[in-house]
Amino acid sequence: MSIIFLTQNVNAQSNKQKDTLLVQSLIDSTRKYNDFNFKKALYFGDSALKLAKRINQTYGIIKAYGVLGDNYWFHSDYINAQKYYFRCYKLSDSMNYKGGIANSLYNIGWIVCIQQHNYGEIHYLYDANRIYGELRDTSAIKNVFGAIGSCYSDKFKYGKSKNDFDSALKYFNMTIEIGKKNKQWKRSIAVAYDNLGDLFSITSDYKSAVFYTDKALEIMKTLKDSTVIINCINNKASYYLYLKNVNEAIKLAKYVYAYSIRNDSREHQKSSILTLANSYSKMGEYEKAFKALNEYLNLKEETDREAYSNDLQQMQNTEEINKRETDLKQIRQQSEIQELKNKRKSIYISILIGIGIVILVFAYLAFRQSKIRQLTNLRLKEQNKVISEKKLEIEQSIEYAKGIQTAFLPEKDKLDSFLKHNFIFYKPKDVVSGDFYWYLIADDKKDILLACADCTGHGVPGALMSMIGINTLQQLSAERKIKSPSTILKYLNNEIKNSLKQNSDQTIRHDGMDIGLAHFDPINLKLKYSAANRPLYIVRDKEVMEYRATKYAIGGFTNYDQVFEEIEIDLKKGDFICMTTDGYADQFGGSNGKKFMTKNFKKLIVTISSLKSLEQLSELEKVFSQWKGNYNQVDDVCVIGINV
């Protein structure tokens, strides 16, 4: 019997050793796939954690928590990364495992200080550095120096303090000096050079930025580390943009974007899209720029929401962390009980006393947790009340803004008295609108100026631009007595640029508008038309005649001396004149969720051209509503129609 028992013991120990080696192998596999295959890395990390828990291998659990945190960090999922780093810290602290404590503090500090820009929490990084110093871990100290440098560099970006710049420069150079002591640390040197490039770019010294980034790339070409290489290329693209080498910037940004899609790297995806948006804007390709910027804003909103949704204090109070502590204590107790089964009776008494103490501790923790939950619920109720009040204030403010904007729009009944057969289909996306219509009837009642405009943005920003546009048109036409649409648009362009201080390439805002402006003489059946990016449609004998606009917007990047072409059209009785913004044609809907499209809009106005004005308006509203269906309205809509 003793031989059989001994054999079973040896087999059990042998299996445990194999499982321990397997845990380490799974952790190594996770690290291998971390930066280019998220799903595989996550699979190996989860497998390592499950196996380590099953065999009660505490240090394996700590390592698994760490690599899972790294895995989510590479994937830009900072919520889950922070969660696993914190678990790693708690378990390491309970074991007094200094290596695990320092590594967790380093990772937590990186997220809090750099991802969340909470620079006051830099003590996490300094604490990690202190412990690594006690352990004499030069490689880890090098990494912490790089993180501290990045924190000061990020702080300098927002505060522009020379002390922060000097601190960032100091720690990056310290990283390089330590890195030169070991040939295996070339990657850290390259990362530091790349960070120096980013630091100098903040000071607008883009030539130095390119110099340091090229040094980083030169090192990384020998190491073939895709993560650092792609980061360098991404930074270099933005530097080229500021050095006015736009074509090269677009080329590099497209390369980074393709990489980010293949590897699901959202941080690289964000920065490459922003570089493309700025590049297209510089080249005057505003539609591409707008699409890229919209994609960037959506992705940034998503990642920011994740990065800021958890803070460390909340994590300390969550039920999940407390449950994990309980599970880990139970694992250790079970292991101790198993080892003590063959010991003397006095030890059993000690165990019972220990269990009693643990039960008391658990009871205290449960009571304390209940109190924390009650306090948290009270705070949440207070916060919800404040949020509700703020929401109501904002809604009331926007409603008030709607009243102001409506007051700026000309009264429709005066237009009806001058032009008997007209309609205006005006449908803001939100409460207030970036689209607007405007008209001015001549003092002698013989002619009229009529505008249909689409300002940058919608909602409150668009409404502010619309009021500037309406006010400027009124001044140019009513006060200066200008009737030429082309001349009015030229002055309007200059006035908008001056009002918004768009007189430098360094200006932050490039807002403006697309607009069609017509001078209509209903007595002599003459129409003069000039426009910025908005065509004019005239339906005659069931055929659409399209008069194209000048391909420049009002304001923004348009030059001060820009001339907007003016055309003169001889009208006929029965003609149907249509001016519109792009909101109607760009609406998503139908059975396939696609845009309505300009070609379908042209067919629609041909169909309604023979109807009376009220019927035309009714049909436009009906078709728009049916097409939109359950989809959200994507933009403001304004359509003006006149039956000659």
- Is residue 337 very low, low, confident or very high in pLDDT (cuts 50, 70, 90)? very low
Query: Which of 126-140, 564-578, 581-595 reaches the highest mean pLDDT?
Result: 564-578
Q: Of 199, 107, 205, 136, nearest to 162 (Cα)?
A: 199
Question: pLDDT at position 505, please?
Answer: 53
pLDDT, average across residues 276-305? 77
Is pLDDT larger for residue 51 or for residue 77? 51
Phi, psi of 436 (to 5 degrees): -150, 155
Lowest-confidence region among 185-194, 309-318, 532-541: 309-318
CA distance 400 to 377: 34
Question: pLDDT at position 358, please?
Answer: 66
Report CA 388 to chain centroid distance, whole Å: 25
b/e 262-298 (16+ beta carbons within 10 angstroms → b): ebebbbbbbbbbbbbbbbbbbeeebebbeebbebbee
In sign, the C-alpha dihedral spanning 324, 326, 329, 334 is negative
- Is residue 349 very low, low, confident or very high in pLDDT (cuts 50, 70, 90)? low
Question: pLDDT at position 393, please?
Answer: 67
Is pLDDT larger for residue 594 or for residue 260? 594
Model confidence at 11: pLDDT above 80: no
Question: pLDDT at position 362, please?
Answer: 67
pLDDT, average across residues 325-346? 48
CA distance 294 to 278: 12
Strand, helix or coil for residue 91: helix
Question: pLDDT at position 305, please?
Answer: 62
Question: pLDDT at position 430, please?
Answer: 83
409-643: CATH, from 3.30.420.40, 3.60.40.10, 2.60.40.10, 3.90.105.20:
3.60.40.10
Q: Angle at CA 643, nearest 5°, toward 637 and 644?
A: 140
Model confidence at 392: pLDDT above 50: yes
Report CA 595 to chain centroid distance, whole Å: 24
Question: pLDDT at position 354, please?
Answer: 66
Question: pLDDT at position 352, please?
Answer: 62
Instruction: Please answer whether residues 521 and 510 qualify as being in contact, where contact means their C-beta atoms are separated by less than 8 angstroms.
Output: no
pLDDT in tens, 416-430: 999 989 999 999 988
Question: pLDDT at position 582, please?
Answer: 92
CA distance 500 to 555: 9
CA distance 533 to 514: 5
pLDDT, average across residues 318-342? 46
pLDDT, average across residues 148-177? 89
- Is residue 318 very low, low, confident or very high in pLDDT (cuts 50, 70, 90)? very low
In sign, the C-alpha dihedral spanning 222, 226, 227, 233 is positive
Model confidence at 317: pLDDT above 50: no
pLDDT in tens, 217-245: 888 777 766 777 877 888 888 888 788 88
pLDDT, average across residues 435-449? 92
Helices (H) and strands (E) in the chain, counts: 22, 13
Give me the chain's average pLDDT, please: 81
Query: Which of 20-24, 164-168, 196-200, 620-624 reaches the highest mean pLDDT?
Result: 620-624
Query: Which of 6-10, 270-274, 466-470 reaches the highest mean pLDDT?
Result: 466-470
Q: Give CB contacts under 8 A, 24+ apart, made by 584-589.
A: 584/425, 584/620, 584/624, 584/637, 584/639, 586/634, 586/635, 587/624, 587/627, 587/628, 587/631, 587/633, 587/634, 587/635, 587/637, 588/628, 588/631, 588/634, 589/627, 589/628, 589/629, 589/631
Parallel, antiparallel, or unpaired: how do β-strands 588-589 and 543-547 relate? Answer: unpaired
Is pLDDT larger for residue 322 or for residue 23? 23
Lowest-confidence region among 70-84, 98-112, 124-138, 483-497: 70-84
Task: Please identify, in words, the CATH class of the domain defined by 227-310.
Answer: mainly alpha
CA distance 319 to 606: 65
CA distance 281 to 446: 42
Tokens in use for 277? Answer: 């948006």
pLDDT, average across residues 317-328? 44
Is pLDDT larger for residue 336 or for residue 272? 272
Percent of the chain with pLDDT over 70: 84
567 bridge partner residues: 529
Question: Any idea where the domains of the chain sit in the sequence?
Answer: 227-310, 343-403, 409-643
- Is residue 7 very low, low, confident or very high in pLDDT (cuts 50, 70, 90)? very low
b/e 213-249 (16+ beta carbons within 10 angstroms → b): bebbbebbeeeebebbbbbbbbbbbbbbbbeebbeeb
Question: pLDDT at position 364, please?
Answer: 67
CA distance 178 to 155: 24
CA distance 270 to 257: 8
Question: pLDDT at position 2, please?
Answer: 39
- Is residue 351 very low, low, confident or very high in pLDDT (cuts 50, 70, 90)? low
pLDDT, average across residues 468-497? 88
Q: What is the DSSP letter of 551?
A: S
Question: pLDDT at position 35, please?
Answer: 65
Model confidence at 344: pLDDT above 70: no
pLDDT in tens, 357-366: 767 666 667 7
CA distance 637 to 574: 25
Question: pLDDT at position 325, please?
Answer: 45
- Is residue 281 very low, low, confident or very high in pLDDT (cuts 50, 70, 90)? confident
Strand, helix or coil for residue 558: coil
Query: Which of 121-125, 179-183, 237-241, 437-441 reaches the highest mean pLDDT?
Result: 437-441
Model confidence at 273: pLDDT above 60: yes
pLDDT, average across residues 139-146? 89
Instruction: Please answer whether residues 284 and 268 qualify as being in contact, where contact means their C-beta atoms are separated by less than 8 angstroms.
Output: no
- Is residue 161 very low, low, confident or very high in pLDDT (cuts 50, 70, 90)? confident
Q: Of 258, 257, 240, nearest to 249 (Cα)?
A: 240
CB atoms within 10 A of CB 81: 25
b/e 514-535 (16+ beta carbons within 10 angstroms → b): bbbbbbbebeeeebbbbbbbbe
Instruction: Please answer whether residues 576 and 641 qualify as being in contact, where contact means their C-beta atoms are separated by less than 8 angstroms.
Output: yes
CA distance 542 to 52: 77
Model confidence at 476: pLDDT above 90: no
Report CA 302 to chain centroid distance, whole Å: 6
Tokens in use for 422? Answer: 């007209």
Phi, psi of 516 (to 5 degrees): -115, 130
Lowest-confidence region among 13-22, 371-380, 502-511, 524-533: 502-511
pLDDT in tens, 494-515: 988 887 777 655 445 667 899 9
- Is residue 387 very low, low, confident or very high in pLDDT (cuts 50, 70, 90)? confident
Lowest-confidence region among 9-13, 96-100, 429-433: 9-13
- Is residue 621 very low, low, confident or very high in pLDDT (cuts 50, 70, 90)? very high
Q: What is the DSSP string of 168-188?
A: HHHHHHHHHHHHTT-GGGHHH
Tokens in use for 545? Answer: 């005649």
Percent of the chain with pLDDT over 90: 26
Q: Angle at CA 454, nearest 5°, toward 450 and 457?
A: 155
- Is residue 644 very low, low, confident or very high in pLDDT (cuts 50, 70, 90)? very high
Phi/psi region, residue 631 (left: phi>0; alpha: psi -120 to 50; beta: rest), is beta
β strands within 369-482, DSSP E:
422-427, 435-441, 448-455
Model confidence at 41: pLDDT above 60: yes
